Structure 1
Amino acid sequence: MLKSPGRRFIIVGILVLLMFIPLFFAAEVINSRKFYSQDTIRNVGMEWGGQQTLSGPFLVIPVEREVTTLKSRPKIDPDTGLVMTHPDTGEELKVRYEETVIKSGPSVYLLPRKFDADLATQTQMRARGIFQVPVYTAQVGMAFDFDTSAAEPLLASNETLLWDKARIEVEVSNNKALRGKAEMLADGESLPMAPMAGRHGFTATTGDPRGRGEYNLALGLNGAQSLMVTPVGLTSQISMTSDWPHPSFSGAFLPDGHEVSESGFTANWTIPHLARPLPQAGREDVAASARQVSGFGVRLIEPNDFYQKAYRAANYGILFIALTFLTILLIERGAGKPVHAVQYILVGLTQSVFVLLMVAYAEQIGFAAAYAVSAGAVIALLTMFGFMALKLGRRALVLGAVLVVVYAVLYLILDSADYALLAGSTLAFCAIALTMFATRNEDWFGPEKEKGPGLMTRMFGPTRPVAPVTPPVTPVVGPPSTGQTPPKDPPRDR
C-alpha cells in the first residue's frame, strides 16, 4: 500500500466498492434458493388443496320462455293429401304458420339477504426434503337466506321461473380440497348435494325455495397459503379463527377488529352490500366477479423468513465490509508493515461468504442457530487472520470486538424489518463520526520527502540521455612546439 494515509484511504474505498461483486453473486444464490423453496411450497400446497376462495352461495332459478317463430311448410291438398304445386311452374306451394316453442332462458341469480360465515382453521407442517410447508384444515359454517320476491321483476312477459328446479351453488378453488363433513340444511332438512359439471364447486337442489327459511352449510376443506371468502350477502358478517400466529390480512376488505397472539388470531368483518359492486339479483353469474373484486381473507405467511433475512444481509453487507476495512485501516497505523490490498480482499470475501453460510445452515438448523454459527466462524477467522497475517498483535482483539458489535447489530437489523433502516443508518453515522474523531490529527498527505520519479518514469523506466551536439573545431597550423614560451613582440612605435 502507499505510505500516504490519504492515498491508502482512497485505495481501501475502491476495494470496498469491488466487494459489491461477490455480494451480488451471493445475493443471486440466495434468490435461487428462495425460488426453489417457493416452488416446493406451491407444489405441496397444491397437492394438499391449494389456496382456497369460497364464492357463494347463490340461488339459481332456471327460466323458460315461450318463443313464437314464423315458419313455412308444403301446402297439402285436403282432398287428395298430396303436396300442391303451381299450375304454371310446377313448384311446390308453401303455407306460412306460427309456431310457439319453449326454450331455456338466462337463469335468475339471487344473492343472500343475510350471510353469516364462521371459518376456523388448524395448521400443520408438511415436510418435503429440507423444506417445511404450512398447510391448514378449515371448518366452515354458513347461515343465509334469500329474498325470492326479487326474482319475478327480472322476467320478461314471455318468461316463467322454474321454481321446482332451483338450486344453490357454492364455488371453491379446487374440489379436491373438500374433506370431511359437507352438509346443507334448509329448515333442518338435508338437501342433496352434487359437484358442478365443468366447474369447481358444488350444488344443492332446494325444490321450491319460496317456502324455505334459513339455510345452513357445514363444510370441511384443506388448503395452503391463503383462505378467502366473498361478501355475497345484503349484510355479510364473517369471522375467522386460527392457531397460526402470523396472519396477513389481504383482499378487498381489512377486518373491523382482530387479535393476534402466539397462540393464533381471531378476526371479524361486517360488510354491507353497498361496499361490494355486485347486484343483489340479476341474470348473470357473478361468482367470478365476486372472487376478483370483493374477495378478502387471510394469508398464512412465514414472517421475515431466513431467505428474506439473508437477502437483506447481502444488501447490508457492503456497509459491514466497509466498517471492517475501516477498522483495519485505523488500527494498522503504527504497525511495521501496512496491510496489503490482497489481504483486504480476503477479508471482504470472507464476509461475503458469511451470507451463504447463514442460508446453508439455516435450511438445516434454523435461522438463529445458523446465524450464531456463521457469525462466530467469521469473527474467529478474521481475528486470527488479523493476529497472524496482518501482524496487528493485540490490536487484533480490537478487530474481533468490532466484528462482534457489527454482527450483533446486523442480527438486530435482520430480526426486525421495521427497524432495519433505523439501526443501519445509525450504525453508519456512528462509524463515520468515530472515524472523524480518530483521524482528527491525521496528516493525510504523509511526511514530506524528496520528489521521486514521476508516474511515466515508474511505469516505463528512465530514458537514455542524448549527448549535446557541438560544432567541429578547426585546428590551427603553426611551427612545431619546442616546449618554450615564444618571445613577446617588441612594442611598436606610436
Structure 2
Amino acid sequence: MTNPYEPGTVQPRNSNKTLVKGFITGLLILVMLIPTLFVQSLIVERKERQKEVVEEVSSKWAGAQVVSGPYIVVPYVDPLAYSEAQKTGRRNIILLPDDLNLTGDLLPEKRKRSIYNVMLYHSNFNEKGAFKVKLPADIDVKNLLLKDARICVGIKDFKGIEEKMSIAFNGSQYELLPGLPTALIDSRGLSAPVDLTNVDFAKPMPFEIDVRLKGSEMIRFMPLSANSKFALQSSWPNPSFTGNVVPSDYTVSGKGFNATWKFNSANLPFPTVITDSLPDKQDISFGVSLVQPADQYAKTERSIKYAILIIGLSFGLFFIIELLQDKPLHPLQYILVGLALIIFYTLLLSISEFISFNYAYLIAAIATIFLIGMYAQSHFRNRKTSGILTTGLTVLYGFIFALISLEDTALIVGSIALFIILALVMFVTRKINWYNPTFKPSTLNPL
C-alpha cells in the first residue's frame, strides 16, 4: 500500500479538493461575520430607542431623584475681609445635623409605552433628627446674620414633589419653597427662612419632615449628618444598590427588599459646620436602582458575541459530515445556512421585545434548528445525518444560553466546554484520511 506521506509520492487529487474546500469554508465563516455587525448596529439602535422612550416618559413624570438635607445656611460677616464700600466679606456657613434618621417606602410602578416598559416609583419617607451646633473658634456668633438663616432640602427634580412640603424645626412649622441661598451642596432644592437666636445654639434643635416624591428608575441620598441611618423598603424584588456605599444590612426576596445604611462622623469627609468648600459630594451619595431583570438588549448583545463560535462550529460540522457522506455542499449552500444562523439573532431581538428573553431564545433557537435540520435532510437524504446536525446545533445553542446566563464563571465554563468540543472533534475525525476522504454513506459512524 502506498503511504501518502512518503517523499515523492503523488498526492491524490481529492487532497487538493479537500484543502481548497476547507479554505473556502474558513473564508465563508469570516464572511458570515459581516452581517453580525449589522445586527449589532440594530441592537444599538433599538436600545437607543428604548432609552429615548424612557427619557421621554421620565421627563413628563420625574427623573432619577437625589435627596439631601435638611441643612441650615446662615450668612455671616467676615470682619477681616469686610469692606463697607464694596459690600464684600459676607459669606455663608452651612450647618449640618448631628443626628438624622430616615425611614421610607419605594412603591414601584411600571408604565408601558409602545413596546417598552419604563420603571417609575412613588416614595414616602420621614426624616427626623436634631442640630447641635458647635461653631469653629474663628467664627463669632455675633457676626452671624441669623435673620437671614434658611433651612434647606435638596431635591433634583421638582416635578416629583407630590404634595406641599413643610418642615417642623425647633418647635415651629415652616413651608418649603423652591430656591436655595447657595449652590455649595445642591444646585436645586427647597428652602424656608427660619427664626434663630443666639440662645438656640446652646441646645439641640430638633426637626422632622415628611416627603412624598416620585421619580424614575433610581433614587439617591446624601448622608449630610454626623450620625445618620437610612432605612428603605420596597416590594420591588430586583434592586441594584448604587453609589460607593453598600447597605450595612439588607434582605432581598421575591416579595421585595429591605436595606439599611448607617453613617457616623468618621464616615463624613467634612465637618458639620462648613465654611469653605465642599469636597466632591457625589463620592458619598448612595441609593437604589429599580432594575428590570430582563434586559433583552444586553443579553442579545452578549449572545451575538458568540456568533463566530456558532457559525464556525456549525460550518465545521457540515464540512466533516459532507466529507464522510461524500455529498459536498456548494458554497452557496453554506451561505444559506449561515444566513439562517444570522437570522436567529434578529428573531431573538424582535421576539424578546414582546416576551421574556428566555422564551424568545427558545423560540428563535427551535425555529433555526428546525430550518437547518430540514435543509440538511433534503441534501443528505439521511435521517441519521440530519439527526446528528440537529443534535449538534441543539447542544450548541444550549451551551451559548448557559454562557449568557452565567456572569462570573462564564469564562472558565466556556473555556472548559470549548476544550471538550475540540477534543470530541479530534476524536471523531481521527480516522479520516484527509488525502482521500471518500466514504460511502453507509460508513457514517464516527464513533
Equivalent positions of 1:6-405 (< 5 A) are: 6-64=19-77, 105-150=90-135, 153-155=137-139, 160-180=143-163, 182-186=165-169, 189-196=172-179, 200-208=188-196, 210=200, 213-284=205-276, 286=278, 289=279, 291-303=281-293, 305-405=295-395
Secondary structure in 1 matching 2:220:
strand
Superposed CA deviations along residues 63-92 of structure 1, whole A, max 9, x for unmatched, are 25779999xxxxxxxxxxxxxxxxxxxxxx
Distance 1:187 1:160 in 2: 22
TM-score by length of 1: 0.77
- 1:113, distance to aligned residue in structure 2 (A): 0.7
CA contact (8 A) 2:77 2:89 kept: yes
Distance 1:104 1:326, change over 3 A: same
Change (3 A) 1:321 1:101: closer
Q: Give the root-mean-square deviation of aligned CA atoms.
A: 2.8
Match of 1:479 in 2: none
* Structure 1 residues 44 and 68, CA gap change in structure 2 (3 angstroms): closer
Does structure 2 conserve the Cα–Cα contact (< 8 Å) formed by 1:319 and 1:428? no
Q: Deviations over 1:123-168 (max 9, x none)?
A: 01111111001111111211121123426x34369x6223344221
Provide the rounded CA distance (Å) in 2 between the counterparts of 1:421 and 1:68. Answer: 63
Q: Distance in 1 between matches of 2:81 and 2:432?
A: 103
Between the two proteins, the alignment pairs up a number of residues equal to 415
Distance apart, 1:252 and its partner CA: 2.5
User: CA offsets per residue over residues 407-448 of structure 1, 9 Å max, x none?
Assistant: 222222223334433443333222211110011112222279
Amino acid paired to 2:431: N
The answer for unaligned runs of 5 or more in structure 2 is: 1-12, 182-186, 439-447
**Greater Rg by CA:** 1
1:15: Cα distance to partner? Answer: 2.1
Letter of the 1:414 counterpart: I
CA-CA distance at 1:361 after TM superposition: 1.1
- CA spacing shift, 1:46–1:285, aligned 2, 3 Å: farther
Q: Is the Cα–Cα contact under 8 Å of residues 82 and 90 in structure 2 kept in the other structure? A: no
For residues 410 and 293 of structure 2, the distance between their equivalents in structure 1, rounded to whole angstroms, comes to 15
Give how far 1:396 is off. Answer: 0.9
Secondary structure of 2:237's counterpart equals: coil
- Structure 1 unmatched runs, 5+: 71-98, 449-494
The superposition leaves residues 29-77 of structure 1 with CA deviations (integer Å, 9 ceiling, x where unpaired) of 111111211222222223221111112221112325779999xxxxxxx
Match of 2:418 in 1: 428
The Cα shift of 1:354 comes to 0.7
Q: Report the Cα offset of residue 207 of structure 1.
A: 0.9
CA distance in 2, matches of 1:106, 1:66: 11
* Inter-partner Cα distance in structure 2 for 1:271 and 1:176: 29
1:151-190 superposed Cα distances (whole Å, 9 cap, x missing partner):
6x34369x62233442211111111111136331135642
Residue 237 of structure 2 contacts residue 253 of structure 2 at CA under 8 Å; is this kept in 1? Answer: yes
Q: Are the counterparts in 2 of residues 67 and 100 from structure 1 also a CA contact under 8 Å?
A: no
Query: Pairwise mapping of residues 410-421 of structure 1 onto structure 2 (< 5 A)?
Result: 410-421=400-411
Give 1:333 shift: 3.0
